[in-house]
Structure formats: C-alpha cells, structure tokens
Amino acid sequence: MSYFSELSRQYIDGRWQAGSGAWDIVDLNPYDGEKLAAFTVATVAEVDQAYRAAERAQQEWGRRNPYSRRLVFERALRIIEEREQEITEAIIAELGGTRLKAAFELSLSKDMLRECMQLSLRAEGRILPSPVDGKENRLYRLPVGVVGVISPFNFPLFLSLKAVAPALALGNAVVLKPHQEAPVTGGTLLAKIFEEAGLPAGLLNVVLTDIAEIGDTFLEHPVPKVIAFTGSDQVGRHVARVAAGHFKRTVLELGGNSALIVLDDADLDYAVDAAVFSRFAHQGQVCMAANRVLVDRSVAAEFTERFVAKVRTLKVGDPQDPATQLGPLINSAQAEAISAQVDQAVAEGATVLLRGATVGTLMEPVVLTDVPAESEILRRELFGPVVVLVPFDGEDEAVRIANDTPFGLSGAVHTGDVERGVRLAKRIETGMIHINDGTIHDEAIVPFGGEKSSGVGRLNGEATVEAFTTLKWISVQHGRSRFPF
C-alpha cells in the first residue's frame, strides 16, 4: 500500500529521513502476516534532534495568534475527510481493525480536530485582586513548551491525535513515539497529514524506535516538560517514576478492568447488546472494554442464555470483509497470552460457557462464569475477546465486586430506574461510568481518564488545557510598595 512505502521513515524537523540504528522495526499485517513496511530505528541522537527541533520551532508557534494556529486543524480535518477510504484501508491492514472499528476511530479523530479549532482559543488568563494597594495580579496561561507523546497500538490514529493535536493547538511542539505495532497509523500518517495542513517544520516530530535502542532517553531528555503516555499500567508506572525523577509532569491513560452491571430491573435484551459490544469491540483490545459483566442473580440465568446466544453469532475472520465483527489480535504473542489466561482460569475452576478456536492471531470469543473469587483473571486487564460473567446478590455486593480490582477506568450500569443507576455509579471507583449504555465512550469535550491504576490526569476539553499549559503569575504595582528596609 502506498501509505506504508511512502511513510516508512522518521519525521524530524520537517524532513523525512532514515533512522541511523542498526536494526529495523518490521510492520506486519496481523491478519495475514504480510510485510507492510520496515523502519530503521531512531537512535538517541535522532531523539535529541527531534526534541531540539521542537524546542526551536515552539518559540514562534507559541507566540502566534491562536486564530492563525486553528487554521492548521481546519485543513487537517479536510485532509482526513478527503482520504477516509485510504486511511480506513491502512487501519485494517496495520491493526487488523474491522471496517466498523475504522469508521469509529475516524469519527473520534475528526471530532477531536473540530474541538482543537476551539481549543486554540481557550488558554484564558485571569486578573486576581491583591491585599496590596495598587497591585494587579495577572495570571497568564502559557504553553508548557514541548510535549513528549507515547501512543498505543489499539486506536493509534485517535489516541496519538488526542494528545498531539490539543498540545499543538495550545501553542506547544510535540515529539511523538508511536507503538512499534502501529508506526504508520499512530505516527507517520499524522506527520503527513499535518505537513500537508501547513504545520511549520519542527512542531511535530515522529521517532520510530524502541527502548532496546534508546532506553529512557525519550523520558529523560531535558527538553519536554510534559509526557503524555497511553498504554499498560506496568509501563505507565515506569514512565511516572522516570518523569517524576526529572520533575516532568505526566498525563497517564492506562489500562482498565471495567464492569458492566446489570440490575434486576434492567432491559435484558438491551443490556445484552450493550455488553456484547462493550466486550468484543476491536476483539476486546480496548482499555474501556467490559472485562466483567455483573448480573443480579435474579435475572442471571435469563441474561446468560441471551448473552451467550448473541456472542455465538459474532463473525470472526478477515477484517477486509464488511461482515467481519472480530478481526485478528495485534500479534500471535497476544493471542497466546490471552489463551494462557483463560487456561489458568479454567484450571482454577472457572466454567466455560463458550470457547472457540484460536488460530494464529484469530481468537474466537470466550465466555466464562463461576470464576473463583481469588482468580487473577477477575482483576487484570483482558486485552482480547474474553469475558467473565459474575452473578451478584444486591447492590452492595455489585459495588464490592466492581471495585475489587486495581483498575478504575470505565463502567456501565443497566437499570429501569436512571437515578438508581446514578446512585450506584457514584459508588464505583472509576473515572467514567455510563448509565444504560456501553462502557466504551470518548467525547472531545468531556474529561477522560481513570482512577487507581488506570492513570493520572485527564484529557479532552478544559482538562486538556490544564494538561498542556502552565500558569504564570505576573504582578504589576501601579503605585509604590513600601519595603521594611
């Protein structure tokens, strides 16, 4: 595909160049194993070049009229709209995403660009009173300078854009390190879009590399003031430790183990539809996915019968086929790891309600129940098409089970009484939770983020302004101060 041959290079200071490392990152189609591209890795020297270019370019960009900055995002939106079909094919090829998944990711990406047009104008200052006569306290909201962004493989176009575009809109420069499994859709494709949209050279740099080559250089480099990371909680902990040691701020969007709770007065058919989508969207490779479906025992048998019947109908296969609902996992190692987690749960006593075959990267859905309370599968993130059904007796037990996990990202409550659902939702230790809906949602103006091991900080809307700007206090004494000596 032309995107992969054209965009298989580093993008530093407005130039497309090969990395100078001694080995290549090979980009493979997860469905058929086809080689899409190879990228010679960036070294420590190229990471330094990228950050220094960003530092130089940001000075003028930060001073630019925000009405001028927003034009870049208008043009970027038009480019994506004009090339939706090409980008869709890239998402399918590189990620194994279905056509439905690609459409969802593109919709989120376009909404984020629309929000960034407005975000450019939202870095508002304030004037505060002072107890000192004649003094004026001005608070200026300024760009932080340079932001380092590390993005994941599951929704790489959107999740890269979600940090990159707002940071740029607010007057910063960015160095982006996409995941090795998504170097184009999560990295160089964005560079190409913004290059064509007229973003000045140096403001967005994309380095394709790995910690095996650069260690912690991306985090430790003196230029970036904020590190925005989306990925696993294990890596997120490391990012947090290193960044804190260098007095850098972090925005950490980490994993989840969300619960979708079905109360005794829920619309069961609707709850089944919501639960199936919430678990199996993009093969379960979604941080907000409903790993656990908690069902009131009074309706558990009926819900389970309908749920398993619907899951049986899901079509697994070639993501190019519009009828496919579950494509491949990102690689065979991921499929093997998920299968091993299922095997462990079964060995511990879990009951298998449904388990199909796993062939290479294709994994048919797995539905488990009767999982022992101490089983690890109930508490960890499951990044694959596996779900656990858990019965409960009453709301208090539902809350206890839902909160019995280190994570706290998303969730959902299904009930015939909305306010009952809200009361219950307030007791769930998550950053986000949805009444009578699925667990997978992201809206450009609503704060997105988690509690506990699901992350630190929020993105979207005003939360993004907080994340990528800093406050500066400038006082003006209009009279004369009196000093004690």
Q: How far apart are CA 187 and CA 165, in angstroms?
A: 12
105, 181, 195, 287: the catalytic one is 287
Contact 290, 259 (CB under 8 A): yes
Question: Residue 380: CB partners within 8 Å, gap ≥ 6?
Answer: 257, 341
Question: Residue 194: CB partners within 8 Å, gap ≥ 6?
Answer: 72, 76, 168, 203, 204
Is 287 in the active site?
A: yes
Contact 68, 236 (CB under 8 A): no
94, 181, 195, 253: the catalytic one is 253
Q: How far apart are CA 286 and CA 307, in angstroms?
A: 20
Q: How far apart are CA 239 and CA 447, in angstroms?
A: 22
Both tokens assigned to 418: 């909305």
Is 364 in the active site?
A: no
Query: In this structure, which amino acid lies at residue 144?
Result: V
Contact 28, 19 (CB under 8 A): no
Question: Residue 333: CB partners within 8 Å, gap ≥ 6?
Answer: none
Q: How far apart are CA 72 and CA 76, in angstroms?
A: 6
- Which residue numbers are catalytic? 253, 287
